[in-house]
Chain A
Amino acid sequence: MDPAEVEFLAEKETVKIVPNFSLDKVYLIGGDLGPFNPGLSVDVPVWLALNLKQRQKCRIMPPAWMDVEKLEEMRDLERKEDTFTPAPSPYYMELTKLLLNYASDDIPKADEIRTLVKDIWDTRVAKLRLSADSFISQMEAHAKLDNLTLMEINTIRSFLLDSLNCMYKLRSNLQPGASKGQFKDY
């Protein structure tokens, strides 16, 4: 999957905005939004929040986890534990990039947050590679991957799945009796 498609999915997450305009309820196919009143916070999907922000029609309120203290705690926990700790949000990487790129003036300590999220990401991806290697070398048939986010899976997906496929075929060599059709006639 293209990372942009993962970002597309992340854009469905809701975020609180404070609009500076008023508008009645909007009946979208995917559900109702609004009403919008100046100064009153309202939940909208990220794709709309970013659009409104770019047109200077709202202020975005950062999600609760997007906070230096909370992220520091998560980073420390992530480094301490061998397993994956619950991610700040299933789309933490995408939301950080989107919100910091388009609304950094609404997010206190944006630079620190960027660094912290990157630290958490790097720690998790290093763990992911470790587990991929042990999955292959132990020839496991099943792994539980709770807490992994889609973007994390996506960075390793095609490599890991292709490798597992190759390994499967090399392993079927060990049972030559099961091989289908010795010499195929096309």
Chain B
Amino acid sequence: MSDALSDDGSDINQDESQEDVMTPAELIAKLEEAWLNEKFSPELLENRSEVVECVMEQLTHMEANLQRVKKGDAKASIHRMEIDRIRFMLSSYLRSRLQKIEKFFPHVLEREKSRGEGDPSLLSPEEFAFAKEYYANTETYLKAVALKRMPPNLQTVDMLKAVPEPCLDSFVFLRVKERQENILVEPETDDQREYVVDLEEGSQHLMRYRTIAPLVSSGAVQLI
């Protein structure tokens, strides 16, 4: 490559799982979407490791190119800033997933266990290993500090019951990306009636996560 930085990296994304070929800019937008959704949803969302991997590939690729550029190059500093920004978003995304895994570990593992053969996995392989280890460590710790001193019939703790489940009835803020009709809003009190709302493109709403959870995973709404 004669001019390393003139390569716009559009050779990426040959991943077969990707239905359409995404431009790198679209890929970054996808990451941002996943980042915000993960930050604001009460439960752990499906992992987006295909996006994470593609972004990593982009970053490695760009960094490799930058290695070949001499110091003080004006373009290189701009590229480095961009890389730092993307890296920040990526780490923040992965970190917020780890936080949720720590918070809900027994339920996360349970969902993973009961998942059907062809269903997409909630966790990436690395996250799965993390969750299992976290579970084992918590159990060992509880045993060491307290449980082993209890009467024999009280030496186990049912983690699924002891650790609170994510509350899907939490409210969330969202922005509509694709118009949706007839979204059912359930009544809050006995003297209210259920009703339906249309979610216009670009409009913003405050409502229960449970109502719109499928729209988050399909990408029709964005949590904000």
Question: Which residues on A are within 8 Å of B, measured CB to CB?
Answer: 1, 5, 8-9, 11, 21, 23-24, 26-33, 47-48, 51, 135, 139-148, 150, 153, 157, 160-161, 164-165, 168, 171, 184-186
Question: Considering the chains assembled together, what is the distance between the CA atoms of A84 and B75 in angstroms?
Answer: 42
B131 to chain A, nearest CB (A): 21
Whether the pair B167, A165 counts as a contact (CB closer than 8 A) is: yes
**Residues of chain A lying within 8 A (CB to CB) of residue B7:** 27
What are 28 pairs between A and B in contact, CB < 8 Å?
A8-B85, A8-B89, A9-B32, A24-B75, A26-B79, A28-B78, A28-B79, A28-B82, A29-B25, A29-B62, A30-B28, A30-B86, A31-B25, A33-B78, A141-B207, A142-B197, A143-B205, A144-B205, A145-B173, A145-B205, A145-B206, A146-B204, A164-B171, A165-B171, A171-B188, A171-B189, A185-B161, A186-B157
Residues in B167-218 with C-beta less than 8 Å from chain A: 167, 169-173, 185-189, 192, 197, 202-208
Question: Considering the chains assembled together, what is the distance between the CA atoms of A89 and B162 in angstroms?
Answer: 46
**Quick one: closest B residue to A57, CB to CB?**
B74
Contact size class for B?
Answer: 35 or more
B111-127 CB mask vs A (1 if < 8 Å, else 0) is: 00000000000000000
A178 to chain B, nearest CB (A): 12
B198 to chain A, nearest CB (A): 11
Whether the pair A140, B188 counts as a contact (CB closer than 8 A) is: yes
Question: Considering the chains assembled together, what is the distance between the CA atoms of A141 and B39 in angstroms?
Answer: 22
**Residues of chain A lying within 8 A (CB to CB) of residue B161:** 184-186
Whether the pair A142, B206 counts as a contact (CB closer than 8 A) is: yes
Interchain CB contact (< 8 A) of B5 among A1, A26, A150, A165: A26
**Residues of chain A lying within 8 A (CB to CB) of residue B187:** 141
Question: Considering the chains assembled together, what is the distance between the CA atoms of A160 and B40 in angstroms?
Answer: 14
Question: Considering the chains assembled together, what is the distance between the CA atoms of A86 and B158 in angstroms?
Answer: 51
Whether the pair A32, B8 counts as a contact (CB closer than 8 A) is: yes
Whether the pair A139, B192 counts as a contact (CB closer than 8 A) is: yes
Question: Considering the chains assembled together, what is the distance between the CA atoms of A60 and B209 in angstroms?
Answer: 41
Question: Considering the chains assembled together, what is the distance between the CA atoms of A70 and B208 in angstroms?
Answer: 37
Give the interface SS of chain A, mostly helix, strand, loop or mixed: mixed
Question: Which residues on B are within 8 Å of A, measured CB to CB?
Answer: 5-9, 24-25, 27-28, 32, 39-40, 58-59, 62, 74-75, 78-79, 81-83, 85-86, 88-89, 92, 157-158, 161-162, 167, 169-173, 185-189, 192, 197, 202-208, 224
Whether the pair B207, A26 counts as a contact (CB closer than 8 A) is: no
**Quick one: closest A residue to B29, CB to CB?**
A30
- A48-B81 contact given A26-B5, A27-B5, A145-B173, CB 8 Å threshold: yes
Whether the pair B25, A148 counts as a contact (CB closer than 8 A) is: no
Question: Considering the chains assembled together, what is the distance between the CA atoms of A30 and B205 in angstroms?
Answer: 29
Interchain CB contact (< 8 A) of B170 among A1, A21, A141, A161: A161
**Quick one: closest B residue to A175, CB to CB?**
B190
**Residues of chain B lying within 8 A (CB to CB) of residue A30:** 24-25, 28, 82, 86
Q: Apart from A27-B8, A161-B171, A164-B170, what 6 extra A-B contacts exist at CB < 8 Å?
A: A26-B78, A29-B24, A29-B59, A48-B78, A141-B187, A147-B204
A98 to chain B, nearest CB (A): 15
**Residues of chain B lying within 8 A (CB to CB) of residue A150:** 224
7 smallest CB-CB distances across A and B, nearest first, come from: A27-B8, A139-B188, A143-B206, A145-B204, A142-B207, A142-B185, A29-B24
A144 to chain B, nearest CB (A): 6
